Structure 1
Amino acid sequence: MTSTRGRVAALLGAVAVVAGTTLATPATGSAATAAGPARTGGGITGQAPCPDAPEFRCGTLTVPFDHSGATPGTLRLDVATTGNADAPKGDLLYLTGGPGQPGVPSIKRTADILAPVLKDYRLVMVDQRGTGRGALRCPGLQEDMGSSDLVVPRRQSVTDCAAALGPDSRHYSTADTVADIDLLRRALGDRRLTLDGVSYGSFVVQRYALAHPAHVARLVLDSVAPREGFDPMDLAALPATARVLRAACRATGCTTDPAADLAATVRRYGNGAQILSALTGYEFIDPDYRAVPAILHQAADGQPAALQDFFDLVHREVDAAPAEELSQGLHSAALCADSHFPWGTTDTPVAGRAAALERARQRLTPEQTWPFDPATATGLGSLLVCLDWPREPVPPTPPAHRRLPDVPVLLLGGDRDLSTPYEVLQQVAGTAHHPQIVIVPGAAHSVQNRAENPAGRRAVYDFLLK
């Protein structure tokens, strides 16, 4: 899931329309080179005031389309910075979520949020490959899923997207983004970066730190994604839903048990995946879930009309998003390349995947999935996208035993977050040497951007200014 929206960006480069899907075309020319003087941004070309926010500077970083060199061509990524190139603590790279959300359009909002530290840091934001004005465009999949991870798309939408992206989709993995970020570091003239990542951005931060440990100074992980990649069966969120709904119920004084009503509704209608998707979206509207207990109580009692209205509301008000705000083409390409599934990886033949998924469903226990059911775990949207994604080579995964570099790490979460429940944060904290953990009461996903409680932002300021 994503956080802020907006439009500030220079044109990323040529695009080609293929079978209804827009795919960024590798351009000709050389890749970005190592920077010149420290933090001048010498490897970022065309720097000028950003068109819609002239107090910031926008430019372009050129990166190889294929970092192995096997496929020729380059991509041009938009980069935006605050103007203080001589900031005493260096560059702070802020990474947005998804995967599929651009960074440059939200630099003004992010600079406002991080204003207390920007005398000491220069803020840097980038449109990761396949996002923003260079978004991978899959119209059918975008219409079906919008900004959601969990909405179940039409199978034809998945097939059309995968066919249009073709074999080039494998060059939009997190490993490619990590390589791009190190070229950005060099272009900025930095020996080390401070990185702040939200949601999927926290996953990119972890992967960058594991790949380039000598080049990180501090890490902020907000709404923490698991370091091994997205869990396609969401086995952290399923049981966490009971904790979150009951906590929200206590805070708002509701008189029912929303977890028990949720379990009864799933048993009655078999719609667990749709409910989890809607709840995960609704946290962006109301982290107290005020309307939810009554809706679930009615549905459990055989009156599902309000529940259907709830589904429609979330899909209309939260999930709907154009590719420029969150590219479902990039989202699918990255998750299918990065993740481990019940059938293995996307390098597994397609023919055996459905049978492996069914075997996984049969092995699931009620304790793993309550108040949902095993069919919920194996029926979520992003998992089903990758079930039908064509077979392709995938990048290697960092060894599970490898710890994050021995640098300061702040892990930030909300106790109402269903997108990345704080149980995941606690697991990731075990891979850091001296983690600082802040769980913000009443906050849902994307604490820095969205939480009414300022405790998380204050923790970030204190951490970055030490």
Structure 2
Amino acid sequence: MDGGEEVEVGGRRRRQVGAALLGLALLTCSCTGAGPRGAASSAATTAAAAGAGATGPGGPGWSGWRSCAGTELASLLCGSLVVPLDHDHPADPAGQAGRTLTLEVAEGGDRSADRTLLFLTGGPGQPGVPFAPRIIASLGEIAQHHRVVLVDQRGTGANALVCPLLQEQVGYADLEVPTDQAVTECGSAIGADAAHYGTTDTVADLEQLRAAIGVDRWSIDGVSYGTYVAQRYAAAHQAHVDRLVLDSVVPVDAFSGTNVESFPDVAAVLRDVCAAEHCAGDPAQDLSTVVARYRLGPALLDVVSLMSVVDPDFTGLLAALHAAAAGEPEALRTLVHHWQDASAGPADQLSQGLHASTLCLDLDFPWGGADAAPASRAQAADRAVARLSSSQLFPFDAQTARGNGELRTCELWPKVADPQPASLELRGVRALLLHGSRDLSTPLAWAHRAQADLPGSRLVVVPGAGHGVQTRGPASARAVVADFLG
């Protein structure tokens, strides 16, 4: 991999399934602070309403550090940063202050340390500040040697984009298929502002934050979508990046929209679980049979992705697949309904309005980006799926590729301007990549692609672990990170 190294570290632990644990990639931490606002009102505020004139150690827009409100954040310092809604056009033609957003920020760890670690949560749509105590505690010795900073990225947390129907239908899931009405209502509510909820503006926010808190160079530790933001930031501002830790990697240039790159991993992971548990039959073939017979492909793709986050032992799934393949689908339908119900959650913990806005700007779809004519999208998607072979689709089918929740959502998303990054060049960045061998949310193919984009990087595969290795995997994985960061 262009001078890279791939190694494995040992260790795994079993997990129990349940709605309480499906606080999911959200680290099961309850949010504090104000409740979420509606999509139309939270998309932006005026500079005056956001307090853009506030000053602090970092200059205009930065509040300075203060004690955090609420007992859960009592050990941290908090601040707020006012950023332009549109970094390319921060002021209107009349020269008045443009519309702004306020981002909440938290600081912990060793606040006197001369090294700073920015920790980026995932989603997209997940805030950082509410989860800061849990994340900082999970970092262990890393937090003892670093000033650790977390931020509610734009459109998340207390200022989340809220689309009630879409949130109700999808919750914390990535790939659940919403109704057309839920998507179109959300897109209409956010409107043209959706063009400013992609990673391009988030990267500009982070650079403004770096300057505001007085850091010249920082290391960035990202999980899931946070790895994508970290890479995009490093490409734009490499001089300010020391090291990258990319946990459950989303590469900057390897999306398909159909999700077929994850299909081989589903077969391989289910077979690995079967071998460990001495299950009956071939679970990949059982899945293929069930998908063809009951047309459950999109739902099962969503479920295996969810389970790889919370329950990488896939409790009950293999037996249910085997029974369904034999003509008894009741247990499988119950399991699917359980996981779909358990993935419900509010926008201030994972905003589906932000999730849709960002993915539809950042992902590579058969029709292009969010600026493609809506009338052209369905035909382009049909053509792309028709070109896929049966081997590419196994153990799913064309319906799964064509009808997964991400592709369907962005097919219906309104046409908006689609800003492109100035650079995706990542040579010269020191990076450690982590991947759980049972992660089906971010497939191993993505980790390999990201490693190729980062010459000299190291990829560590953790056997038996799922998505989010640092917070859910074995202590040995965190030790690797601590050694890398120094």
What SS does structure 1 have at the residue aligned with 2:150?
A: strand
What is aligned with 1:51?
70
Q: Give TM-score, length-normalised by structure 1.
A: 0.92
The yes-or-no answer on 1:2 pairing with 2:28 is no
Residue equivalent to 1:370:
394
2-side partners of 1:328 and 1:412: how far apart? 26
The question of whether the paired residues in 2 share the 8 Å contact of 1:9 and 1:58 is answered with no
Query: Deviations 1:127-169 (Å, cap 9, x if unpaired)?
Result: 0000001000001000111111110101000111011111111
User: Partners of 2:345 and 2:369 in 1: how far apart?
Assistant: 28
Q: Please say if 1:454 is aligned against 2:475.
A: yes
* 8 A contact 2:157–2:349 mirrored in 1: yes
SS of residue paired to 1:176: helix
The match for 2:373 among 349, 352, 364 is: 349
The answer to whether the 8 Å contact 1:262/1:371 transfers is yes
Q: What is aligned with 1:157? A: 182
Deviations 1:284-307 (A, max 9, x none): 342122311111111111211111
User: Does 1:424 find its partner at 2:424?
Assistant: no
Are residue 140 (structure 1) and residue 165 (structure 2) matched? yes
Distance 2:311 2:376 in 1: 41
Whole-Å Cα distance in 2 between the matches of residues 211 and 446 of structure 1? Answer: 25
Q: C-alpha displacement at 1:367, in angstroms?
A: 1.8
Counterpart residue number, 2:80: 60
Q: Which has the higher contact order (CA 8 A, sep 6+)?
A: 2
> Which of 121, 136, 156 is residue 96 of structure 1 equivalent to?
121
Identity %: 43
Paired position in structure 2 for 1:387: 411
SS of the counterpart of 2:104? strand
Q: Distance in 1 between matches of 2:217 and 2:60?
A: 14
The one-letter code matched in structure 1 to 2:482 is Y
1:16 CA drift (Å) = 5.3
Does the 8 A contact of 2:305 with 2:441 survive in 1? yes
TM-score of the superposed pair, with normalisation by structure 2: 0.89
- 8 A Cα contact 2:310 2:466, kept in partner: no
Root mean square deviation of aligned Cα: 2.2
Aligned residues: 454
Letter in 2 for 1:220: V
> Residue 262 of structure 1 aligns to a residue in which SS?
helix
CA gap of 1:46–1:457, structure 2 versus 1, over 3 A, is closer
Q: For the residues of structure 1 that align with 2:117 and 2:441, how far apart are their CA atoms?
A: 25
In structure 1, how many angstroms separate the alpha carbons of the residues matched to 2:393 and 2:126?
A: 29
Instruction: State the secondary structure of the residue aligned to 1:458.
Output: helix
Report Cα offsets for 1:3-53 as digits up to 9, x if no partner.
4132455559x95564xxx5333231475999858xx99934362234232
CA distance in 2, matches of 1:35, 1:198: 30
Which residue identity lines up with residue 373 of structure 2 in the other structure?
P
The answer to whether the 8 A contact 1:153-1:385 is kept is yes
| Equivalent position of 2:309 in the other structure | 284
Asked if the contact 1:50–1:57 (Cα under 8 Å) also holds between the matched residues in 2, the reply is: no
State the distance in 2 between where 1:177 and 1:347 align: 19
Unaligned 5+ segments in structure 2 are 1-23, 93-97
Q: Call closer, same or farther: CA 1:331–1:112 in 2, change over 3 Å.
A: same
Q: CA deviation at 1:120?
A: 1.6
TM superposition shift of 1:234: 0.9
How far is the alpha carbon of 1:235 from its aligned partner?
A: 1.7
Cα distance between partner residues in 2 of 1:269 and 1:158: 25
Q: Do 2:39 and 2:163's aligned partners in 1 also have CA atoms closer than 8 Å?
A: no
Equivalent-residue separation in structure 2 for 1:35 and 1:437 (angstroms): 40
**5+ long unaligned stretches in structure 1:** none
